[in-house]
C-alpha cells in the first residue's frame, strides 16, 4: 500500500482517489473517521501520533482526497457531502489534539515515574564524620568547667616573650626558659609554650573579681618527639582569682574535674614546680592502656600526668598590681593532647596529629567515655 508505514495499520480507505470518490458518493464519510480512529488507537507514542496526523490530515489524506473529488459528486449532493467532509476533518483534528495532549501527559508521567526517588528511603551509607578526640576532650573539659562558672576565652598563638615568660615570674636566664625550649619568631615574639599567656593577658586587664576563665589551644615546644611529647600539642587552662581562695579550693576543683571526666578512677597528686604557681602540684591518672601496669604510652610508669596546677604565685599578682595578701588564685592546665591519646587508646600522641583518615576512624569510639 502506498504511504504505508511499518508499525501500525494504514487506513483502508486511503487506497486511491477512485475508491475515495466512491466513498464520497456513497457519503460514507464516517469511514474516514473510523479508519482514523483505528490508526489513532494503535499509536502509542508521540512519533506514531505524528505519523497518524500526517496520514489523516496531510495533503494526501483520505479527507483531502475526497475534497478534490467533490466535482465527481452530483451537484445537488455536493454541499451536503462537503459539509460532511468538513465535519470529518474537524472531528479528526479535534481528536488528534486530544490524543496529543493525552500522550504528552502520559510521556511526562512515565518520565516522572522513571526519575522518581523515594526521599524517605535510607541513602547509600557514606562515612559519618566524628569529632576529633582532641575536640571531644576539650568539649568535655569545658562542659565541666562551665558548671563551675568558667568562661572560655581565646588568645594569640604568637605572643610577646613578656606574656609567655616575664609576666609569669620567668625572667631571663631563669632555668624555666631552658626547660621549655622555645620557638622564637622575629621581633622578640615567640610561639607560646603554654596557654598561661592568656592568663597573663587577662590579669593585665584587671577585670572585676571573681575571674573565672579557661583557655584552650595549641602550644609549641622545641622538644624531641616521643610517645608523650610533641613539638606542638594542646592544652586547656583555667584560672580562678578571688578573695579567700585556698589550696583546698584547688584540690577540690581538680578532684571535681577529674571525677567528672574519668569517674572514680585512680588518680594521684604529686608535688611539681612551676614558676608562676606556689605551691604547685601535678595530677597523674592510672594509664588507661595498661591499667597502671606500665606500657609504651606511659613510659612504663603506669601513670600519665594529665594536669599541672597550683596557687597563683604572689610575684604574678604583684606584676599586674594585685595585692597578694588580698586576693588569691588557683590555676591549672590540662594536657588535652595526652588526655585525648588516653581517651582514644593510642600509645603515641603523634597519631592524633597525623591526619590519617584510617587512623582517625580507629580513634572514633562512639560510645567511649573520657578515659
Ligand atoms: Zn601504660
Separation of CA 225 and ligand 1 centre (Å): 18
Residues having C-beta closer than 5 Å to ion ligand 1 = 287, 289-290, 295, 297-298
Please give the torsion angle defined by the CA atoms of residues 225, 229, 233 and 236, in that order, rounded to the nearest 10 degrees: -170
What tens digit of pLDDT does each residue of 210-256 get? 999 999 999 998 877 776 678 888 999 999 999 999 999 999 999 89
C-alpha cell at 41: 488507537
Instruction: Output the 3-class SS for 314-364.
Output: HHHHHHCCCCCCCCEEEEEEECHHHHHHHHHCCCCHHHHHCCCHHHHHHHC
pLDDT at 179: 54
Q: Residue 11: helix, strand or coil by DSSP? A: coil
Chosen CATH of 133-363 out of 3.40.50.1360, 3.40.190.10, 3.30.930.10, 3.90.700.10 = 3.30.930.10
d(CA 301, ligand 1 centre) in Å: 7
For residue 285, report the distance from its CA to the centre of ligand 1, in Å.
10
Q: Does residue 13 contact residue 38 with C-beta atoms inside 8 Å?
A: no
Q: Is the pLDDT of residue 4 over 50?
A: no
Query: What per-residue confidence (pLDDT) applies to 32?
Result: 87
How would you classify residue 268: left for phi > 0, otherwise alpha for psi between -120 and 50, otherwise beta? beta
- Residue 104 CA to ligand 1 center (angstroms) comes to 73
For residues 62 and 228, give the distance between their C-alpha atoms in angstroms, rounded to a whole number: 96
Q: pLDDT > 90: what percent of the chain?
A: 34
Q: Which residues contact 239 (CB under 8 A, 6 or more apart)?
A: 199, 202, 211, 212, 213, 214, 312, 329, 330, 331
**Cβ neighbourhood burial of 142 (10 Å; 0-12, 13-18, 19+):** middle
Three-class DSSP category at 251: helix
Cα of 128 from ligand 1 centre, angstroms: 30
Strand partners, 331: 239, 310
Q: pLDDT digit string (tens) for 114-159?
A: 888 888 887 777 777 778 888 888 999 999 999 999 999 999 999 9
Give the domain ranges of the chain: 12-115, 133-363
Cα–ligand 1 centroid distance for 340 (angstroms): 14
Of 190, 184, 123, nearest to 160 (Cα)?
A: 190
Between helices 30-42 and 78-115, what is the axis angle to 10°? 10
- Cα(346) to centroid of ligand 1, in Å? 10
Rounded distance from Cα 293 to ligand 1 centre (Å) = 6
Q: Kindly give the distance from the C-alpha atom of residue 1 to the centroid of ligand 1, in angstroms, as a whole number.
A: 95
pLDDT tens digits, one per residue of 163-188: 998 888 888 887 767 655 888 888 88
- pLDDT bin (cut points 50, 70, 90) of residue 73 is confident
Q: Whose grid coordinates read 460532511?
A: 84
Look up residue 243 and give its three cell numbers: 578573695
CA of 305 to the centre of ligand 1 (A): 11
Percentage of the chain lying above the pLDDT 70 cut: 88
Q: What is the pTM of this model?
A: 0.61
Amino acid at each position: 500500500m502506498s504511504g504505508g508505514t511499518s508499525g501500525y495499520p494504514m487506513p483502508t480507505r486511503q487506497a486511491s482517489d477512485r475508491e475515495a470518490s466512491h466513498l464520497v458518493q456513497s457519503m460514507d464519510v464516517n469511514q474516514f473517521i473510523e479508519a482514523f480512529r483505528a490508526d489513532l488507537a494503535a499509536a502509542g507514542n508521540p512519533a506514531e501520533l505524528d505519523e497518524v496526523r500526517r496520514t489523516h490530515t496531510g495533503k494526501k489524506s483520505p479527507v483531502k482526497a475526497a475534497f478534490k473529488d467533490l466535482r465527481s459528486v452530483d451537484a445537488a449532493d455536493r454541499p451536503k457531502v462537503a459539509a460532511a467532509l468538513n465535519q470529518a476533518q474537524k472531528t479528526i483534528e479535534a481528536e488528534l489534539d486530544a490524543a496529543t495532549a493525552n500522550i504528552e501527559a502520559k510521556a511526562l508521567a512515565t518520565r516522572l515515574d522513571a526519575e522518581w526517588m523515594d526521599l524517605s528511603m535510607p541513602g547509600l551509607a557514606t562515612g559519618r564524620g566524628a569529632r576529633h578526640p582532641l575536640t571531644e576532650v576539650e568539649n568535655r573539659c569545658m562542659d565541666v568547667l562551665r558548671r563551675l562558672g568558667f568562661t572560655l576565652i581565646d588568645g594569640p598563638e604568637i605572643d610577646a616573650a613578656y606574656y609567655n615568660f616575664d609576666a609569669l615570674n620567668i625572667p631571663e636566664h631563669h632555668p624555666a626558659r631552658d626547660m621549655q625550649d622555645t620557638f622564637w619568631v622575629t621581633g622578640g615574639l615567640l610561639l607560646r609554650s603554654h596557654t598561661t599567656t592568656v592568663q597573663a593577658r587577662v590579669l593585665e586587664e584587671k577585670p572585676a573579681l571573681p575571674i573565672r576563665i579557661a583557655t584552650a589551644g595549641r602550644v609549641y615546644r622545641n622538644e624531641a618527639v616521643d610517645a608523650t611529647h610533641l613539638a606542638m600539642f594542646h592544652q586547656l587552662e583555667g584560672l580562678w582569682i578571688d578573695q579567700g581562695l585556698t589550696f583546698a579550693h584547688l584540690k577540690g576543683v581538680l578532684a571535681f574535674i577529674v571525677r567528672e571526666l574519668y569517674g572514680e578512677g585512680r588518680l594521684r597528686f604529686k608535688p611539681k614546680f612551676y614558676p608562676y604557681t606556689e605551691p604547685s602540684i601535678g595530677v597523674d591518672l592510672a594509664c588507661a592502656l595498661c591499667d597502671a601496669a606500665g606500657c609504651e604510652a606511659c613510659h612504663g610508669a603506669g601513670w600519665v600526668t594529665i594536669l599541672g596546677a597550683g596557687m597563683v604565685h604572689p610575684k604574678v599578682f604583684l606584676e599586674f598590681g594585685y595585692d597578694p595578701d588580698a586576693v588569691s588564685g588557683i590555676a591549672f592546665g590540662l594536657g588535652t593532647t595526652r588526655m585525648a591519646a588516653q581517651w582514644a587508646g593510642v600509645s603515641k600522641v603523634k597519631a592524633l596529629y597525623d591526619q590519617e583518615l584510617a587512623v582517625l576512624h580507629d580513634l572514633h569510639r562512639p560510645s567511649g567515655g573520657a578515659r
